[in-house]
Amino acid sequence: MRESYRVIVLGRGGTEALLVPSGERYMLPTVEIVRWQRVAENLNAAVRSDWGEEVVCLFERETAPPTDGVLMRYQAAEHLCTRGDPKIPTRWMSLSALRKDSLIDGGDYSAIKEVIGICNGEIECSSPGAFSHFGWFSELRNWIELIVEPMGFHVNGKFRQLNASPSFSLIRFETDGPAVWFKAVGEPNLREFPITLALSGLFPKYLPQIFAVQPECNGWLTREVEGTSLSEIQENTWWETAAVALAKLQIESISVSAPILKSGAHDLRVVAISKLVDPFLGVMHRLMEQQTKATPRALSRKELALLGEHIRNALRLLKTSDIPDSLGSLDFNPGNIIASKNGSKFLDWAEAYVGHPFLTFAYLLEHFRRAVTGDANLERQLTTSYTAPWKQLFSPGAIAESLTVAPLLAVFAYASGCGLCSEERLRDPENAAYLRGLTRRMNREANEMRDRRLACLS
């Protein structure tokens, strides 16, 4: 499925717009992007290929819900330079000469005027930030040049923009040396900025090197990590290497849990996470009652109560395992792991937590099942690799018990600790359905956990 974007490309400090002639009037250029793919990256590539223009995306204009079933999306972009001849005829038009009847769709005129107002600071954006005004990209590129020049290399003009919004940015800049990445975050991910700075200082072996920061926009500049994303690798030995690195990172973090928590990481220690059980089950009882579809079946109040008991029992087992709290992530996936012969590096700590370490491994193991194989022997090998460093410190029994309950608690920690249960998110039908699905998954994990423990006892 593809989504259509009308692109408002503004040039000369917002005094002119790029339009497509259509008879005596004009249209906004349009780009189609496969749903769920990165809008900024694909839009920039399409504009460069089809119109011969280099642009940087600014933000997506907010649009009202469709009345006719068709959602009109507008993406604002700033013109940087011309790269070649356009495949589609275009024309730059001065905004001072542009009238509503100049455009085939009068809604395009309103969208252009609104975007100009936001970029000039005359209209307040719902999520204000540093990346909605004209010229920010050039300012950023000049700042990066000042940072990397003393290191002996220079930016070469090539870049790859992955995310674009008024307060979020993720861009890769090429240089005549190593590439660098700039990332900035806004609400609701502001915690990622202090967490990333703290972790990069505490664990330079496992995180990218930070060159410089821009606190005013919660941004930081890092050296690109050499290697390959684990999401692109199916060879199990690389996954095993990453599992060992994760275990060693977590063991090193045990002694510095306090500063990690202070930096903004989620508190998912047993005492804290136990307080989430009743509120979460209350939310799920409401969501299950709201379900209108017959399948998959909604869980009853009795089933939810029993699930709560399973979760509490699992938490009690973790507490008695004596494996201490350490660094973990609720969003631990192979796309955020860079594998190389020099070791593994871990990216994106927006959902960092302090709690039981094995929950993070449960996420890694689940991704391994989906990406590599359903082979139980390979899964055991991955588990053996992860637990090897832990077995030097803790008893095999404590490790085995923790592994038994980790799958259930990993789902619960994610569902209750990532903000999915906020009132704003609960109003979204898709999020509500997702939470119901996670709770059914917990119910299955609880039953499997019970069966595994009974098998061990017998």
Q: Where would I find the beta strands (DSSP E) of 243-381?
A: 266-268, 326-329, 337-340, 343-346, 352-355
Residue 293 CA, chain-centre distance (Å), reads: 30
Selecting from 1.10.3720.10, 3.90.1200.10, 3.30.540.10, 1.10.10.60, what CATH number does the domain 228-457 have? 3.90.1200.10
Q: Determine the Cα–Cα distance for residues 256 and 261; give it in Å rounded to an integer.
A: 9
User: What is the reported pLDDT for 65?
Assistant: 52
Give pLDDT tens digits for 212-267.
999 999 999 999 999 999 999 999 999 999 999 999 999 999 999 999 999 999 99
Whether 339 has a pLDDT exceeding 70, the answer reads: yes
Residue 126: predicted pLDDT: 66
Closest among 326, 323, 350, 322 to 336, alpha carbons compared: 350
Res. 85 pLDDT band, cuts 50 70 90? confident
For the ranges 34-38, 52-56, 213-217, the lowest mean pLDDT is seen at 34-38
Question: pLDDT for 146-197, tens place per residue?
Answer: 999 999 999 999 999 999 999 999 999 999 999 999 999 998 899 999 999 9
Sign of the CA dihedral running 308, 314, 320, 322: negative
pLDDT at 59 over 90: yes
What pLDDT, on a 0 to 100 scale, did the predictor assign at position 35? 83
Instruction: Give percent of the chain above pLDDT 90.
Output: 82
User: 301 pLDDT exceeds 70?
Assistant: yes
pLDDT over 80 at 408, yes or no: yes
The DSSP element (H or E) to which 53 belongs, if any, is strand 53-61
pLDDT (mean) for 190-215? 97
pLDDT digit string (tens) for 349-406? 999 999 999 999 999 999 999 988 778 899 999 999 999 999 999 999 999 999 999 9
CATH of 2-119, one of 3.90.79.10, 3.90.650.10, 3.90.209.20, 3.30.300.30: 3.90.79.10
pLDDT digits (tens, 9 = 90+) for 1-33: 788 899 999 999 999 999 999 999 999 999 989
Question: Which of 60-69, 86-95, 278-287: highest mean pLDDT?
Answer: 278-287
Predicted confidence band at 452 (pLDDT cuts at 50, 70, 90)?
A: low
Supply 457's token pair: 């006892």
For the chain, residues classed under CATH 3.90.79.10 are: 2-119
Residue 127 has pLDDT above 80, yes or no: no
The chain-wide mean pLDDT, for the chain, equals: 92
**H/E element, 369:** helix 358-371
pLDDT of residue 372: 84
Half-sphere exposure of 300 (CA within 13 A, CB side): 3
What stretch(es) of the chain map to CATH 3.90.1200.10?
Answer: 228-457
Closest by CA to 405, choosing from 337, 347, 358, is: 358
Confidence band for 450, pLDDT divided at 50, 70 and 90? confident
Tokens for 297, please give them: 């079946």
Strands (E), 111-190: 155-164, 169-175, 180-184
CATH class, domain 136-223, is alpha beta
Give residue 94's pLDDT. 95
Using the structure block, give the residue that is written with the tokens 């204009």: 61
| DSSP H/E element including 381 | helix 376-391
Q: Where in the chain is the domain with CATH 3.30.200.20?
A: 136-223
pTM: 0.91
Of the listed ranges 80-84, 262-266, 309-313, 349-353, the one predicted with least confidence = 80-84
Q: What is the DSSP letter of 103?
A: B
- The pLDDT of residue 418 is 87
pLDDT tier for residue 62 given thresholds of 50, 70 and 90? low
Could you tell me the pLDDT band of residue 69, with boundaries at 50, 70 and 90? low
Instruction: Return the DSSP state at 352.
Output: E
Band (129; pLDDT cuts 50, 70, 90): confident
The SS3 assignment for 361 reads helix
